[in-house]
Amino acid sequence: MNENIKKLQAIIDESDNIVFFGGAGVSTESGIPDFRSVDGLYNKEWDYPPEEILSRDFFFRDTAEFYRFYRAKLLPTGIKPNKAHLKLAELEAAGKLKAVVTQNIDNLHQEAGSKVVYQLHGTTSRNYCLQCHAFYDDKFIVETGEKGEKIPHCKKCGGIVKPDVVLYQEGLDDKTVEGAIQAIANADTLIIGGTSLNVYPAASFIRYFQGKHLVMINKSVTPQDAYCELVIHEPIGEVLGQITVSA
């Protein structure tokens, strides 16, 4: 166990109101690609940048193309929680962690067993008919795609089904924001993981932290490193995987 892990263990041992603030890096270790990382393949397959496809305007302008991208990039199948998700759920069950705040739209924290999860950018697991507001899960979106339906339509009224994720040009959900800020403001330890904090407005949330220990775990350097008591430039799953949970 290296020095940094020992320091993190000591902080976690003395804390009983930890909040975890996570970003894309937490999910990439489970195999979910970060759609913002543009590669050569990407450029050949899509005519628009991801930020444009995942915007509200684009959703209504070219719903079929939106769903082609969304199903391919944001609804990967066979994905499982990794060591980071599992350890955070374990910390919550032990009464030490009070909330996970995440920018990710997958369901991996809940699958790992976390109960209090504020998903700032919404979730792929909730989808609603735009006309009658009927609910559909993520399986429905996948299955309609497999059947060749380019756009998922409501089984009750035929309306277009839209994912409950925050698209570009859309605002965050007020209740989720309030809950996340409250949790961060009350925390004694804030662990930021798997995010370089360059996605606003979500990244500005950490300003509400007034507690004792601010920890950053991210593979690369971030602008916030200078403000943190402890900075670990290693993969989040490997780091949290080494932590021992005692009540």
Just list the catalytic residues.
121
* Closer residue to Zn ion in complex, CB, 7/153: 153
129 binds Zn ion (CB under 5 A): yes
The span of 16-24, 117-125, 146-154, 226-234 binding Zn ion (CB under 5 A) equals: 146-154
Chosen residue from 134, 142, 177, 185 binding Zn ion by CB under 5 A? 134
Q: Is 133 left (phi over 0), alpha (psi -120 to 50) or beta?
A: left
Residue count at the site for Zn ion (CB under 5 A)? 8
Chosen residue from 159, 179, 211, 241 binding Zn ion by CB under 5 A? 159
161 binds Zn ion (CB under 5 A): no
Q: What is the residue whose two structure tokens read 């915007």? A: 55
Structure tokens at 244: 């021992």
Chosen residue from 95, 156, 204, 229 binding Zn ion by CB under 5 A? 156
Q: What is the residue whose two structure tokens read 């930021």? A: 192
Task: Quote the CA–CA distance of 18 and 12 in Å, as a whole number.
Answer: 8
Sign of CA dihedral 126, 236, 233, 101: positive
Chosen residue from 1, 10, 38, 157 binding Zn ion by CB under 5 A? 157
Give the footprint of Zn ion on this chain (CB under 5 A).
Answer: 129, 131-132, 134, 154, 156-157, 159
